[in-house]
Structure 1
Amino acid sequence: MALSSQPFLAMHHNLAGLWIAFFAVLTTPVHSKTAAPDVSALNVMYSSLNSPSKLTGWKSSGGDPCGESWEGIKCSGSSVTEINLSDLGLTGSMGYQLSSLTSVTYFDLSENNLKGDVPYQLPPNANHIDLSNNEFTGGVPYSISQMTDLQYLNLAHNKLNNQLSDMFGKLPKLKELDLSFNSLSGKLPQSLASLSSLTKLYLQNNQFSGSINVLAGLPLDKLNVENNKFTGWIPEELKDISDLETGGNSWSSGPAPPPPPGTPALAAKHKAKKENGKSVISGIAIAGIALGVLAVIVILIAFFSRRSSSPSSHFLDEERFSQNRSFTPLTSQELSKDLHDDIPRGYKDFKSVDSSAAIDTKALQKSPSIGLRSSISDRVQSFNDNEFANRLNARRSTSVRATPFSLVDLQTATGNFASGRLLGEGSIGRVYRAKYADGKVLAVKKIDSSLFHGGRPEEFSEIISNISKLHHTNIAELVGYCSEQGHNMLIYEYFRNGSLHEFLHLSDDFSKPLTWNTRVRIALGTARAVEYLHEICSPSLVHKNIKSSNILLDAELNPHLSDCGLASFHQRTSQNLGAGYNAPECTKPSAYSLKSDVYSFGVVMLELLTGRMPLDSSKAKSEQCLVRWATPQLHDIDALAKMVDPALRGLYPPKSVSRFADIIALCVQSEPEFRPPMSEVVQAIVRLVQRSSMNMREDLGASRRMDDYDY
């Protein structure tokens, strides 16, 4: 019986095995096919990296990265989750579709030879990004501001050369940030103070300036700020860091001024938190600190109550505080460093109690640690005597970074607003050149006083507050303001290369014309400035005055859009935009919209393409209106070649010009609903750049200071 059962058992066993195998085939796929957006993004990346053979498995079109085990790619299901291409000798760039890689959490292309800007878009949900030891130029992309899962960011050992934007306010998980060994400049943004998890920060070997006070409240274990241009004092809170490197800066000597009221308690709280329970401040100590602060406040109130009866006394008594430190008069050289540097040292590092980025003018008034020489009064008016500054301070919700200038000082610097210092005149006022003894130059926009008739007293302070919140590489940033004796003025950085209008239409025969690459760069930078106003600012801002004369060019011919935040003035002026920039629907001031801004930008692009003015009565009647003349020809290759600015002398890539014309055609459509949003315009120009020759991309990356934010 046992012998006869063996064949049956064997057959039964084989059938069972077949059933199991069949079931496995039915229920287990060989591999999930990679999601289409991931495939497309990696295809573009491969082409942008010059299709290197060392990336085994990679393709420029199609393929299955997850199923075919592409080099450096890891997946979960059908989604790419890791890209690790470190130290492979890669060249080129990373492409322009990285934002499609929504499941990528680990992104490492360090130790390669990648050039151009860090891409405007990065994998949006990454928690680890390492692009160190490449040759990236430009700035830190603003898209990082939206990457709330980011824990590690390393951009060290590149050629980044921009200022840091205020992009760190929504990165609660960021633990390590390395920007060392670049050429980054400017002051540290206030939003760095929001990095509540940051334990390691490397900023060494850059060109940062100003103070490092913004770092005082961070839970840092390692901090390296060596070999920069930092000034002021090292905050006491940072001196407790176990691994601190601060050499190679211009630190102030002598004792640091006492912090503003409330700071000691905050510092003690931070210290207690950092020690993590090892040495917690006792309730008695906290009570003592609170009582001490309260006592200081009471003394200050009494002091200033007594001072208020003496209107002729504008500044704190210098002798009273000379034992703490002395101040030197503010010089024009200090004025040139940054917009905060218009305030004497010791002032500029104070900020409001509510931790906004505002300069708290009342704190400056009331701090007993501040002493001023009387000679400073001819530059910055007394805060006690400046009702406008007090109104600004009274609005706790504002974020004011601009510095108050005195009327006397501006009159001196502009030759009493002499006609020889006049830079230009627009619908809301005149702009003058203000020159100081050391050669520092500023631009002063003197707003027509008639625009304030019947308005609210606080209106100008609100405008200053709103403009001061605008921070973008391609927007002319407000330096200061003056509101005295019925004069209302805005002070901006002076751009020696003037405006795009002057470059295109007023240059003489000896001037070097703008190259095609530079024109594309100007278009892209301006587009991104408008996109910032439309889609990053909340609420959205309509510019209402986009034209070539409001696009200022710095020493490297990078664009800076001016007149931002002044739409309320344009709303009430009898004049419209500069002739030829108005969208067809803008028959009255209230008709301006985001879409009319897009139209005006399209006209600027037409100027860049053709070298013609929007309206030119010297042309034949059929050619006087640039949009009307150019629009029918934008898709005609032969006609387009004849439209291109003769100053280019034929030195341009025809395909690039054709794509540029396609973007213009979208922007200047007569129906506003058909015009694209500015984010799409930016994308289109970026694609134009990406599809152009490698040399063009390198030129674009090396010569411009871009990227504040993602599109």
Structure 2
Amino acid sequence: MSKLRFLWVVISFLVFVLVVVDGQSNSTHPTEVTALQLIRESFNDPDTLSNWRRGDPCQSNWTGVLCFNRTLDDGYLHVRELQLLSLNLSGTLSPAFGRFANMEILDVMWNDITGSIPKEIGELTNLRLLLLNGNELTGSLPEEIGYLPNLDRIQIDQNHISGPIPTSFANLNKTKHFHMNNNSLSGQIPPELSRLPLLVHMLLDNNNLSGTLPPELSQLPQLLILQLDNNHFEGGIPSSYSNMQQLLKLSLRNCTLEGPIPDLSGIPKLAYIDLSNNNLNGSIPDMTLSNDTTTIDLSRNLLTGPIPRGFSGLPNLQRLSLFNNSLNGTVSSNIWQNRTFNSTERLILDMQNNRFSGISGSINIPTNVNLSLQGNPACPNDSVADYCRSPSAIVNSLQSVPSNSTENCPPQSCPYEYAPGSPVPCFCAAPLLIGYRLKSPGISDFPAYFYSFEVYLTSGLKINQYQLDLTYEWQKGPRLRMYLKIFPVYTVPGSNTFNRSEVLRIRSMFTQWEIPDSEIFGPYELLNFTLLDPYKDFIPTPTSSSSGISKGAVAGIVVGAIVGAVLLSAFVSLYILRFHRKKYHAISKKRRISRASLKIEGVKSFTYEEMKHATHNFDVSSEIGQGGYGKVYKGVFTDGTVVAIKRAQEGSLQGEKEFLTEIELLSRLHHRNLVSLLGFCDEEGEQMLVYEFMSNGTLRDHLSVTEKYKESLSFAMRLRVALGSSKGILYLHTEANPPIFHRDIKATNILLDSKFIAKVADFGLSRLAPVADMEGIVPGHVSTVVKGTPGYLDPEYFLTHKLTDKSDVYSLGVVFLELLTGMHPITHGKNIVREVNIAYRSGLIFSVIDSKMGSYPSECVEKFVTLALKCCKEETDERPSMAEVVRELENIWQMMPESELRTQDSLGTDHGKNVSSPSSSSTTKNPYVSSDISGSDLVSGVVPTIAPR
């Protein structure tokens, strides 16, 4: 009987193999398979493309490989796109990139790729998008690229490419976008480029271009943006440029240009003019400008004469900068009169350091107008004294736009984020997180155009306006960087995520530039597209890709199943039975291995019965918190020890990972300012972590002054908490072996014990710092998916996926700002970093200091604010190290007056001085019950942060 069964199995297996082989006949072309293998070998970090080793590229969802969904004439599948955006790739571009005869999109943006651009890319005759920007590429531009007949867009900006622009690029008859800024290109701009019939954007700023500006560029029939800032041209601006009928933006800042300004009246839609920081002379032509004009910047030149009448009455003007010239006459009030300003509009008029004698007309200037006449003869006149000052600078920190408040939504009920614009109150959903940048906007101030931008982007994406939430900041260029969150639409209860097809549709709108260009907002670029856990398997990545079978294979299996239904069903039944048996044994083995590996010295393994007894069978009265990981209980063991027990909810994959991570890390971390792990339980299908109990709860609770903690912390106590937290993190960065990046520092992850000693908690998202390679070089970052908490997240890490010790410094800086102000990181759409920056630069810093902490030494507070803002610098290199943070806090502590440091003996001493307590009742409070557990995942009432991931 057993032999007969074996025979049936063999026959069934052969039928199955034949079916699969038939279904798999439509495979990727062998030439392209070999090319992909060569490309992977050319990268220094091939593990990023680890799934390029398995199966067929087109049928096994290789990371970034998108194929035609049908075979072409040769019967093979072919690669249509290579989407390798922001994968932390290093190494070089292989010549094998030229072997994809049918490829339409080549995208390797925002990596660390070095070397030159291979000339073989010029063989991709079907290529539409060549996207190489944001790397470390060197060498010159290959002539061969100029013969790509279907190229629509070439983006090589933000590299180190040198040499001239090849004249062959004049053959790119279908190219609309030349983005070659921020390189080292040299030589003259080829006049032959004037032959390009469809070119709309020429961005060549920040290079080493020289020679004269080609007058022939005025012949470009579709040109909308000519941006050549920061080059080294000779001579002046060709008068022929006044004939560019379609031009919207002319930016020639800092180009060493001489001579007069041509009359630009002949350009009917010109909205943005920047000719600043040159050697232009003579008077400004009395130009008739478009009503769409937003920006005129002629500052830092040698201009003389009066302000032209054509600069008056422009209804959309946002900035008129004429400072550092020799202009004379008066400033006409007609520039701002007869304009109706709404609450978001403003007008900057910078007239400093000229020869203006006064203001003609009414001096009743609206509050929306910021006029500066400093350094002019008019300033001794009392009537204009209020305007003899420098104009207010634009604060280049994160800024948010108004949105509906979610402040009253219960934080413990949402494992993702509340959609601030949703018509459904407290709609909890998982957004898509997108890094986005306007590369050459035609505006100087964004709030006045926010609604227009919202309409533009949401209509382009074919989504509702309320689905979009964003923050933004101005960057050098000027460019406008944005952090977009796109939320799904509420349909029925429980519908809080996008489906796979919608995620792929929205992503392709960005990656294929299917969002139409806007005249006022200019070209955009995608910086990153971050997927939260619910979506991580939608787009193939090294950790989520499937080795699934193609549709052709499925069809073959169906046909074969019809032929051999009985045999196949017998085999499948037996196979499934064995598979489940094997899977059961594998899981059991894994569980046994896990338990064996968790027998760690100093960390006790508790039984499930002990956990039940300590929590009264996990009674609701013992529950002190809940989050995406599970619930947190207060437990009391038979010996009277009070603990906090974090219990993973059933089926929590996140919990499984965090469970192992926290045990691995905390078992070998021992520091006064880190929460101690006492043990764990891994029985009855349960996973629980047992921590020391922190009777004074979280820092956030004390800053919020809840019903439980009505007394606020004094400044001395806040400084003490900051110093203790910093020492704990410094230990992680420098003394732990190997060092650790926490990755989720926030006020709810800083706990206070009975003596108000601060302890850092929740290591579920932590990562080991990089170690030295074989040459002894330690990488400066860990490449990882973005995880953390909105408001605390390092912007650089969000964009680049590069986690560093300075990412923790940024998050800690936000905590410092909370300590100083009492504010939440994000409240009513306002970002704490931006708000404190504005107050600091305006000299009003004490207006945002938390009044609840009573009196404080102003000098110490100022130094603490300065340190906090340094920690929150946008650029990673500008932030201090943790050692520098601790050193500065200790210096501030030593400056504290003795009167501020007196306290009760029950709190003990710290740092060599007595410390103050919030109140005498603070040390006698009842055991901790969290009253605000938003985003927390620590032992005293933990809710893990899901977004962004």
TM-score by length of 1: 0.40
Greater per-residue strand proportion: 2
Q: TM-score, normalised by structure 2?
A: 0.30
Indicate the structure (1 or 2) with the bigger Cα radius of gyration: 2
Q: Which one has the bigger helix percentage?
A: 1
